[in-house]
Amino acid sequence: MPKLNENYLNLQDSYLFSKINQKVTAYSKEHPDQKIIRLGIGDVTLPLGTHIIDELHSGVDALASTTAFKGYGPEQGYEFLRNSIVTYYSEHGVNITADEVFISDGAKSDTGNITDLFDKDNIVLIPDPVYPVYVDTNLMNNRKIIYIDANAENNFLPLPDSKVHADIIYICSPNNPTGAVYNHEQLQKWVDYALKNQAVILFDAAYESFITDPTLPRSIFEITGARKCAIEFCSLSKTAGFTGTRCGYTIVPKDLVFTASNGTSMSLHTMWNRRQTTKFNGVSYIVQKGAAAVFSPEGMAQCKENLAYYQENARIISSTLSQLGIRSFGGVNSPYIWFECPNGKESWDFFDYLLHNAQIVGTPGAGFGKNGKNFFRLTSFNSHENTLEAMTRFKKIFSSI
Ligand SMILES: *Cc1c(COP(=O)(O)O)cnc(C)c1O
């Protein structure tokens, strides 16, 4: 009999979205005539830009041609895409080299797989509330997790505590689920803390393209010292509507060198390269053609149009909440709006109330950690019409919550 990884017994059921779906299905069965508006799940709704579609088609055509046919590509991604990403970063003042960029099928895989590079004996610091992947992938390896509270008092942007030591630090900015974004000074504190503790920061920048405020950092590598302590994960999922197409990238600087117990220097860049070439065979040529189109001027312009569409929805939601006197977080440089449930309601009760009285589906904060117990997440991934209608309904029922 195989001995199993019994750490899986320590995982909580990931029941959040299935529980939401069950509740919504049950409600719509009882009320088939009611129109439900979904502002819950973090998935994009607009189609891919036409330039991206054209390039995906050209990728397919290449596979039909004897001369342009592609088999296995480089595990790390095609040079043309890695170069586009280097140029994209340089436009934000960040210098990286193409061989520091690793193309993948998405940031969820990479943020999970990166744990391969670290021993079980590490102290992992994770903010709460959080994107559940960071927690579960560390529990699978039985690593010790310290949670750091993100709450209204710190604007959901916790800062390092010099009295607490950590080896691995997860930061997601702009944040899912809270929409909060760190500024340069705050991220500098994290980088300084990591350098002092010889820790590594795993920085999830999946929502960087939602940043409209030019003073906010879009990459951890805008921060002095970050090349010596940080890995950045990014994705075209939310930036370019690639949630179903699948493409992301991870930047592992060559300056990330630590000392092994026998005194040998170990480079995280070399290790990640080894990990990927051993366990991964690259992203399809077709998808990488589409991904490179995202970084072209036409592709960027089309993505910006879609982002502006979602940003307008976020503005509609945030301004409704503020009219009603509800303090909310996010919504400006993020597709997510996070707010305290009115009248001290717990998030699942508020979920039921909204579904039954306004036919709006959101996400209960409790699904993201204990600090989300009284909070709620709405997303801007829907049409203007539905977002406006949801907010009209919300205003109508607000006084009776
Ligand atoms: C959506 C999301 C991602 C992107 O995941 P993909 O696997 O690239 O689709 C990464 N991190 C966070 C926090 C997200 O919400």
Give 196-228 pLDDT, tens digit per residue: 999 999 999 999 999 999 999 999 999 999 999
Tell me the pLDDT tens digit for each residue of 6-55: 999 999 877 788 899 999 999 999 999 999 999 998 899 999 999 999 99
Å from CA of 197 to ligand 1 middle: 27
Tell me the pLDDT tens digit for each residue of 178-197: 999 999 999 999 999 999 99
The per-residue pLDDT for 340 is 97
3-class DSSP assignment, residue 239: helix
Backbone phi and psi for residue 70, each to the nearest 5 degrees, phi listed first: -125, 135
The per-residue pLDDT for 42 is 87
Q: Is the pLDDT of residue 65 over 90?
A: yes
The per-residue pLDDT for 400 is 84
Å from CA of 204 to ligand 1 middle: 8
- Please report, rounded to a whole number, the percentage of residues in the chain having pLDDT higher than 90: 97
Q: Is the pLDDT of residue 151 over 80?
A: yes
Å from CA of 170 to ligand 1 middle: 14
Candidate from 176, 181, 334 with most ligand 1 atoms within 8 A of CB, to mutate: 176
Q: How far is CA 241 from CA 47, 245, 247, 310, in A?
A: 7, 8, 10, 11
Q: Is the pLDDT of residue 302 over 90?
A: yes
Candidate from 135, 238, 249 with most ligand 1 atoms within 8 A of CB, to mutate: 238
Q: Is the pLDDT of residue 109 over 90?
A: yes
**Model confidence at 127, in pLDDT bands (50, 70, 90)?**
very high
The per-residue pLDDT for 277 is 98
Of 93, 84, 47, residue with least CA distance to 249: 84
Q: Please give the average per-residue pLDDT across 371-396, as a whole number.
A: 97
Å from CA of 395 to ligand 1 middle: 31
- Protein residue whose Cα sits closest to atom 11 of ligand 1: 206
**Model confidence at 264, in pLDDT bands (50, 70, 90)?**
very high
- Protein residue whose Cα sits closest to atom 12 of ligand 1: 206
Dist. CA 11–CA 32, nearest whole Å: 36
Å from CA of 235 to ligand 1 middle: 7
User: Which ligand 1 atom is the nearest neighbour of the CA of 236?
Assistant: 8
Dist. CA 11–CA 5, nearest whole Å: 11
Residue 22 token pair: 């069950």
**Model confidence at 401, in pLDDT bands (50, 70, 90)?**
confident
Residues near ligand 1 (Cβ within 6 A): 42, 106-108, 131, 172, 176, 204, 206, 235, 237-238, 243, 248
Q: Please give the average per-residue pLDDT across 141-157, as a whole number.
A: 97
- Protein residue whose Cα sits closest to atom 14 of ligand 1: 206
Handedness of CA 82, 84, 86, 88 (dihedral sign): negative
Tell me the pLDDT tens digit for each residue of 306-347: 999 999 999 999 999 999 999 999 999 999 999 999 999 999
- Please report, rounded to a whole number, the percentage of residues in the chain having pLDDT higher than 70: 100
Average pLDDT of the chain, as a whole number: 97
Å from CA of 136 to ligand 1 middle: 15
- The answer to whether the beta carbons of residues 303 and 239 sit under 8 Å apart is yes
Dist. CA 301–CA 304, nearest whole Å: 5
The per-residue pLDDT for 221 is 98
3-class DSSP assignment, residue 160: coil
Tell me the pLDDT tens digit for each residue of 353-379: 999 999 999 999 999 999 999 999 999
Å from CA of 108 to ligand 1 middle: 5
